[in-house]
Amino acid sequence: MISLIALKRLGLDEVWWLVSPQNPLKPVAGMAPFAERLANARAVAGHRRIKVSDIEARLGTHFTRDTLKRLTLRRRQHDFVWLMGADNLVQFPKWEGWQEIFNTVPIAVFDRPSYSFKALAGVAATRFAGSRIPERNASGLSRRRAPSWVFLHSRLNPVSATEIRARDNGEK
């Protein structure tokens, strides 16, 4: 849902889903193998303009900051926008080099149930408040220089990735 909203509201050519070999903020225990997560992502992407990628595994990067640096250096003809949910903006300061990410690519933050106020009052939003653009200007985000970001309000979907995985595995 977020990818389709991003394509439309941000005017993107395509959305890449970067399947991470291992999220440094999540425990290895209980995590499905990388190949399985990659295959599952490809199975549900369901749109010709959503590309599922294993580029982090191929680049050997462990942190988003490093992946984005490598992508922006190697693919200068592309304008990148980092997409994240408001829940991630809340905990963004825990990410390795989070301020570098803000300074590398424009960021689109998507509203998530019960996270909006925490996200917009949090450390990351406060630190980069002067770089936030109005939602009505979101379609030009990819052409803006970093740091720039937008908070997008949309119909909220309360289903989490954890709930989707549990449903797909026959749990709950």
Residue 26 has pLDDT above 60, yes or no: yes
> Burial, 24: exposed, middle or buried (Cβ in 10 Å; 0-12, 13-18, 19+)?
exposed
Say how many CA atoms lie within 13 Å of 125 toward its Cβ. Answer: 22
Tokens of residue 157, six digits: 């979907």
Residue 49 has pLDDT above 50, yes or no: yes
Query: Using one digit for the tens of pLDDT, what is the confidence trace for 100-150?
Result: 999 999 999 999 888 999 999 999 999 999 999 999 999 999 999 999 999
Q: What is the pLDDT of residue 110?
A: 95
Note if the pTM is more than 0.85: no
3-state secondary structure of 51: strand
Cβ atoms of 85 and 109 closer than 8 Å: yes
Domains of the chain (ranges; CATH) run 2-168 (3.40.50.620)
